[in-house]
Amino acid sequence: MEYIAAGDGEMSNEEIVEQIQQGVDVTGNQERLWQKNRGFVAWCIKKHVGICDGQDFYDFMQEGFIGLVEAAHSFSSGKGAKFLTYAEYSIRKAVYRYNGLNTCMVRVPEYLKTRMRKLAAFKKEYREAHRRDPQPGEILKALHISSRSLCHLEKTIQGMNTRSLDEYISGDGDASLLDMLSTDERIDELAGCSEYQKELHKELGHALSILDDKTARMVRCVYYQRNSYARTAEIFGCSRQAVDERIKKGFYKILHSKHRERLESFMWEGYHVDPRRLSGYADMEEIDDMGSELLL
């Protein structure tokens, strides 16, 4: 199934991208490009990410936005490809990079993703019709698979909830976490660490949700995607100072919200914030009163 963009009689993607590259109303044109292609980004995420655990679809859309903007800055119409064809690679790269750093994604083959979708659809329809979950035999008959295949399918889905300790960690599938642990390592500590990271990531997501979209995207671009401030400024079409000030404003808002105490609970025992470290945020009240539009 291919994505089909809806025609709106407005500027084409290529025309919007050309204006972005020429420095014409960069912020406004980036927003136009985003609004015009939100459906395409969602389609890319569903196609390339598949099933994963602990992630709101909103998170992936934010990463997709970063990939879309990166593509806009590096796209060359002279190569003969349509912008969306080119952008899909950047969106996929941004989402995969985000998953590698921040999620517990379990990647599965395409045929297995298809079976998962069919299983989910069948269970949903069956519950609506019969007010109960289908029996294994009914699933086998509906999906035309063996009991062994169903067992494998359900185990894979279960693996979405907790990252498997024997999950392959390299692209070639030649090394797993268990391979790297000696026999006297404490497996329960590793599992606990994984749960800790999931809870921390969830709380960070709540904290970012109180920021405006652009500030949250910049924070993600720097701290999730590991981009430099200079690269982030290039992506968002602004100065490095504007990125620095906007992120500082975002941190200031989080530091003065209920999320600060919750995030501090994840720090080591005895941790406290040095008041001197907050001095750099002292002028953020002034900036906040002026309005975020002055930052870009």
Q: Bridge partners of 168?
A: 176
Query: DSSP letters along 54-69, please?
Result: S--HHHHHHHHHHHHH
What is residue 16's predicted lDDT score, i.e. its pLDDT? 92
Give, in order, the Cα–Cα distances in Å from 93 to each of 109, 194, 247. Answer: 18, 24, 24
Beta pairing partners, 156: none
Terminal CA-to-CA distance of the chain, rounded, Å? Answer: 39
Answer whether 259's CB lies under 8 Å from 206's CB. Answer: yes
Which tens digit of pLDDT belongs to each residue from 176-187? Answer: 333 433 333 333
46's CB contacts (< 8 A; 6+ apart) are none
Q: What is the mean pLDDT of each run of 10 residues along the chain (296 residues)?
A: 50 89 87 89 75 61 87 82 85 76 54 78 89 90 83 71 40 39 38 55 84 89 81 86 89 85 63 53 45 38
Give the long-range contacts of residues 75-84, CB within 8 A, separation 24 or more: 75/17, 75/21, 77/14, 77/17, 77/18, 82/13, 82/14, 83/13, 83/14, 83/17, 84/3, 84/5, 84/13, 84/37, 84/40
With 0-12 CB in 10 A as exposed, 13-18 as middle and 19+ as buried, what is 148? exposed
For 13-102, the fitting CATH number among 1.10.1740.10, 2.120.10.90, 1.20.1250.20, 1.10.540.10 is 1.10.1740.10
Burial state string for 196-207 with b = 16 or more CB within 10 A and e = fewer than 16: ebbeebeebbeb
Domain edges within the chain? 13-102, 110-180
> CA separation (Å) from 23 to 200, 213, 219, 235, 285?
38, 21, 23, 12, 30
> Which pLDDT belongs to residue 178?
38
Q: Quick check: do 13-102 and 110-180 share a fold?
A: no
The span from the CA of 12 to the CA of 132, in Å, is 48
Please tell me the predicted confidence (pLDDT) of residue 293: 38
Give the C-alpha separation, 100 to 238, whole Å: 28
**pLDDT tens digits, 51-72:** 554 455 777 888 888 889 888 9
- CA-to-CA distance for 20 and 237, rounded, in angstroms? 8
Residue 176 has phi, psi (to 5 degrees) of -125, 170
Token pair listed for 188: 């329960």
Helix (H) or strand (E) holding 197: helix 187-208
Does domain 110-180 bear CATH number 1.10.10? Answer: yes
